[in-house]
Amino acid sequence: MKKFIFLFLVGTFFTSCDSQKEIKTISTKELKTLLAKENIQLMDVRSPKEIKEGTIETAIFANYFDDDFTEKAMNRLEKSKPVYLVCRSGNRSGKASKILQEKGYDVINISGGYNQWKKEN
């Protein structure tokens, strides 16, 4: 019986680990390099008030705080391409990354967010 319980717990552990794929993260410097040489799919999930403070030139927008964020984001994104997500500091885009990853998108979170981008550019 102990053997069965042990095997069940080990199986459950590995099943849980597999379903929670780690979200990739890159720095704003790496983002700048990518933007210089590729046409990437970049989504800014900040609020409209934050967007007025400045933007990254090629970003498309979906406010993370909107009730229909997921639907709006999915309508603006191509599922066949990786999605780079940016917010103010990197926290909100991390949460948005998890939502979109669950919907089947290949997501990359930008650490430091727009605040870091603004310091460097």
- Between the alpha carbon of residue 58 and those of residues 74, 76, 92, the distances in Å are 17, 13, 19
Q: Where are the domains of the chain?
A: 25-120
pLDDT in tens, the chain (121 residues): 666 555 544 454 444 444 468 999 999 999 999 999 999 999 999 999 999 999 999 999 999 999 999 999 999 999 999 999 999 999 999 999 999 999 999 999 999 999 999 999 9
Question: What pLDDT shows up at residue 21?
Answer: 80
Identify the pLDDT of residue 99.
Answer: 97
What pLDDT is stored for residue 35 in this prediction?
Answer: 96
pLDDT given for residue 18 in this prediction: 47
Strands, E, within 1-121: which ranges?
A: 24-26, 41-44, 60-61, 83-86, 107-110
- The CATH fold assigned to 25-120 is Oxidized Rhodanese; domain 1 (3.40.250)
Q: What is the pTM of this model?
A: 0.82
